Chains A and B, each alone.
Chain A
């Protein structure tokens, strides 16, 4: 887990809108061009996306997963970090460092 991960807070940007339609959790881009400007999330991804409405730490996000699914803290942390990296590559999430 990167230092940035432990000491940071994350929040979703306003470049995407979440939709649940035809059984798919979709992130629809407001500014992207091209083929299909949307991505599918897993249900767990959708849960984290909901949490990311507010500034959240890695701990907050892991706690959300642990509260809903049977998963260890370590598993949850790996998952959350992967997800945040994916969101960052889409510019769907922003982060800020916490005072240490």
Chain B
């Protein structure tokens, strides 16, 4: 018996939590969408264009949710939107989460963060913030967001947060309207001493509008950008070296979705993660255990026989994942050739594939494997190139 605080570093403790949560299937991390509307009108957004004014979670609803998540074992809680700082009760919701002992993360476009919010966050620091960046000039910023002065306001917010030592990273989706400035954004983040992230897959709007898909970069554009960001692809080479292998897969989900993580939308609907909009139940109406069990069933999904991804060497570096595939085909175990072409192109560049052309191009896609419907397929850049 000793009554101590064992001297383990936070990082090791976190690793232990993650490993044990995975073994015991405990929802260690939850994303909670507290508002679906936003003060920006981003061209690529999958959620806010579909949102109505009433798509807001009340403080009372948030508290019910937090109590359920706390009882289920959640420790990391992401507050996301829409834009969370536009929520009239954001401060109360945020403090309700903090006071329940969650490590709170925030996704924001940072437009509304002025001195007052920055001081508040300095006093009640989030575990981490993720700030969306959309360009490196006022004009390009506004081309994406549609909001005057968005660039200037976000730049100021970044400085206010840095001055107060609040931890955050910057991220921007790589798409036709941002690709040319992504290298400058990366350099900017480096100069500020913060991490920069980008990703290459765009998804349709929540209610099915395919407009954002016209912004998706094609395989060669992805490759060109990646080579600019990572000269000689040295980082990607290291990343791929431990992931390209001869594994075969029965299970579609290889990530923590539905095993240690879940996403809750503004109406209480629960899905595997923020990239998936298909809900399996509602936390405002059903007990947590019922929904967690339904989610567990979903992520046990298997590939049908002969599915190209089940025997793919590049599955662990694939640009697509069950959630984005589900968005485009309706099923997590569908198949999106655009993702496949982009991934094979990258594998070719690294010398892992002789041609960069997936075998489904030469041999065809098995008929029983679900692919994007005709309208979705037409919106994908690969078919229009």
Contact = CB atoms under 8 A, between A and B. Distances in A.
Interface of A: 17-19, 21-24, 26-28, 30-42, 44-45, 47-48, 65, 69, 71, 79-80, 82-83, 86-87, 90
Given A17-B100, A23-B20, A40 B3 contact: no
A28 B104 CA distance: 11
B2 A18 contact: no
A26 B123 CA distance: 21
A42 B3 contact: yes
Contacts of B166: 33
Contacts of A42: 2-6
B167 interface: yes
Interface in B1-44: 1-6, 8-11, 13-14, 16-17, 20-21, 24, 26, 28
B3 A45 contact: yes
Nearest 6 interchain pairs by C-beta: A36-B10, A17-B101, A44-B3, A83-B3, A19-B101, A28-B101
Contacts of B26: 21-22
Nearest to B16: A24
Most buried by A among B16, B98, B127: B127
A25 B49 CA distance: 43
A43 B237 CA distance: 45
Interface in B93-149: 98-103, 123-125, 127
B73 to A, nearest CB: 4
A22 B21 contact: yes
A24 B13 contact: yes
A45 B11 CA distance: 21
A35 B9 contact: yes
A16 B343 CA distance: 46
B20 to A, nearest CB: 5
A23 B124 CA distance: 26
Given A17-B99, A40-B13, 7 more contacts: A30-B98, A36-B103, A40-B6, A41-B4, A45-B5, A48-B3, A79-B4
B101 A26 contact: yes
Contacts of B70: 19
Interface in B41-76: 70, 73-75
B354 interface: no
Nearest to B166: A33
A31 B5 contact: no
A27 B1 contact: no
A48 to B, nearest CB: 5
Contact of A38 (B3, B13, B73, B124): B13
Contacts of B6: 40, 42
B94 to A, nearest CB: 11
Given A19-B101, A28-B101, A33-B166, A82 B21 contact: no
Most buried by B among A17, A18, A69: A17
Given A24-B13, A33-B125, A36-B10, A71 B103 contact: no
Contact of A22 (B24, B102, B124): B24
A87 B5 CA distance: 8
A28 B103 contact: yes
B75 A19 contact: yes
B28 A30 contact: no
A17 B99 CA distance: 7
Nearest to A17: B101
B101 A22 contact: no
A43 to B, nearest CB: 9
Contact of A36 (B14, B21, B100, B165): B14
A37 B103 contact: yes
16 contacts: A18-B101, A19-B70, A21-B17, A22-B28, A26-B75, A27-B5, A28-B103, A33-B125, A35-B10, A39-B13, A42-B3, A42-B4, A44-B1, A45-B4, A79-B2, A79-B3
